[in-house]
A and B are shown apart, each in its own frame.
Chain A
Amino acid sequence: MRIKKHPILEFNQKEKIKFTLDGKELEGYKGEPIASALIAAGIKVLSRSIKYKRPRGFFCAIGKCSACLMKVNGVPNIRTCVTKLEEGMKVEIQKGKGDFN
C-alpha cells in the first residue's frame, strides 16, 4: 500500500514500471528500491533462512542485515533494499545460498 495523503511530504513518483516476482507481474516506481516496491505490493516474505527455511523480510533498509537477499535478473544475493527497481526486472525468491541457474 502507498501513502495517499501526507501533511508534509510529497512523493514525486512519476514513472510506473512493471517487474516480476517469481513470474508474477507487479508494478512499482522507477528508482525506488526493489524491496519497497514489493512491500507496497503486499509482499512481506523476501527470502527464507538457509537451514530452517524460516521466512525473512525487510529489516534494516541500509544493506546491512542480509534479510532481503533475492535473485535479480538471474544474479543471486542482491540486497533488494539498496538496489533500484528497473523496468522488466526479474525478481525471484532464491533457494538456499542462491545459484546462477
Chain B
Amino acid sequence: MTDIAIIGGGPAGLSAAIYAASLGAKVTLVDDGLELGGQLIKQTHKFFGSEKQFAGIRGIEIAKKMIQDIKEYDNLEVIANATVTGYYEDEVITIVQGVNGDILKKLKAKRIIVATGASENILPFVNNDLPGVYAAGAVQTLMNLYGVVPGNNILMVGAGNIGLIVSYQLLQAGIKVEAIVEALPRIGGYLVHASKIRRLGVPIYTSHTLKEAYGTDCVEKAVISEINQNFEFIPGTEKELEVDTICLAVGLSPLSDLLWQAGCQMKYVPELCGHVALRDDNMKTTKDKIYIAGDVAGIEEASSAMLEGQIAGLNAAISLGYKCDNYQEQDRKLKEELKELRDNPLSEEIRRGVEKALIKEGWD
C-alpha cells in the first residue's frame, strides 16, 4: 500500500514524486526505462523557459539533480525497469518487472499520477520499415547516452525543435547531416537553432518531404520531393540523397493507454497532439484518484512537464490530508508560473489545446 503511485520517471514524474514526498506522502515511482529521467537524460542543450525551472541548464544536469534528490527521501520508493500494465477499480495497479517480464506485482495506491510521456510518430513513405529509419529519441539515446554513432550520413525529417536540436547534436558528435526536410512551408522550431545548423552547412528544405527509402537490408538512399500546399508531391522535383540513416522527428503522441483503460474521460485535442484526459487545473482527471502530468497530458516540453508534475504532486498529497505551509500560495505560484511559461506567441496552440482539455469549476 502506498499513498501515491507515480507512473513514469521522466521530468513530470520525478517532479511530482519529489514534491509529494517533500510533504510527507508515501510515494512509489514506477519507471520502465533502463535509467530514470525519461528523455531528459539525453538532452545536452541548455533549457529556455523560466528561471525556477532550470533555464540555462542542460537537460542531463537537471535529470542528475532530480535523480539525486529522490534519494533523499525515505518515503519515496522507486520500482525501476518495470511496466505498469493495468489499473483496477479498487486502486490497484499491476506491474510487470524483470528481463523476461516474469515478475508480477500488485500495488494498491490511494492516488495515482500518470506521467507516462509520449511515443514518437512514424511517417508513411515507401520502405519506412527498413533498419536505419530511427525515431529522433532513439538517435539521441544511442549517441548521447551510450556514445554510439547511429549512422554516417543522416537525413533528418522534420524541422520542429526536436529535429533541429537532434541535428545539432549529431553535428556535435561529428556525424554528417545531409539535409533536413520539413513538410510545412516554414521551419517550426526556434530560429536560433535553425540558423546555427545552417551556418554549419546543412540545408533545410521546407515544403519538402521524404518520398521513398531504398536499400536491401538497411537504408542506402532516400528520395525527397517538394510538395504543394495540399501536401501532394510535385512531379519532377525529386532529389536523391546518399544517406544510411533517416531520423524521424515528425511529432509525438501522448502515451495514454493506461488512462483509457482506467476509464478517464478522453478527448481528441489536435493542439495537444492526440487523445488526452480531461483534467482540472490541479491536473486531476475525471477519475477522482487519478492525476496526469507531462506529455501524456499534451505534448509540450520539459519545463512545463516539471511544473505540471509539481502541481499534480502537491494537490494529490493535499487531497490525502498532508499539510503544506501556505498551500494556497504555493499552488497559486506554480499555476502562475506555468501560465507565464506558455505566455508567448509560440505557445498559442498549447494554450488553445489546454483550454479544450480543461474541466472548469462547477463541471459535473
Which of A's residues lie within 8 Å of B, judged by CB?
Answer: 1-9, 11, 13, 29, 32-33, 36, 39-40, 44-46, 49, 54-64, 67, 72, 75, 78, 81-84
Contacts and interface: CB of A to CB of B under 8 A. Distances in A.
B189 interface: no
Contacts of A29: 146
Interface string B35-68: 0000000001000000000000010100000000
A39 B142 contact: yes
Interface stretch (B86-94, B125-133, B158-166, B278-286): B125-133
B217 A44 contact: yes
A58 B131 CA distance: 7
Given A58-B138, A61-B137, A3 B131 contact: no
Query: Which range contains the number of B residues in contact with the other chain?
Result: 35 or more
Interface of B: 32-34, 44, 58, 60, 81, 83, 99-100, 119-120, 129-135, 137-138, 141-144, 146-150, 172-174, 217-218, 255
Given A45-B131, A60-B119, A82-B81, A5 B148 contact: no
B133 A59 contact: yes
A12 to B, nearest CB: 9
Nearest to B147: A11
Contacts of B34: 33, 82-84
A7 B148 contact: no
A3 B218 contact: no
A3 B173 contact: yes
A56 B173 CA distance: 25
A81 B146 CA distance: 12
Question: Which DSSP category, helix, strand, loop or mixed, fits chain B's interface?
Answer: loop
A30 B149 CA distance: 18
Contact of A5 (B131, B144, B174): B174
Contact of B218 (A8, A57, A64, A84): A57
A48 to B, nearest CB: 10
A89 B338 CA distance: 47
Contacts of A63: 32-33, 83
26 contacts: A1-B148, A2-B147, A5-B174, A11-B146, A13-B146, A32-B148, A36-B146, A39-B148, A46-B131, A49-B129, A55-B131, A58-B134, A59-B134, A59-B135, A59-B138, A60-B119, A60-B138, A61-B134, A62-B119, A62-B141, A67-B129, A72-B99, A81-B141, A82-B34, A82-B81, A83-B99
Nearest to A72: B99
A50 B44 CA distance: 38
Contacts of A72: 99
A41 B18 CA distance: 39
B137 A56 contact: no
A61 B139 CA distance: 8
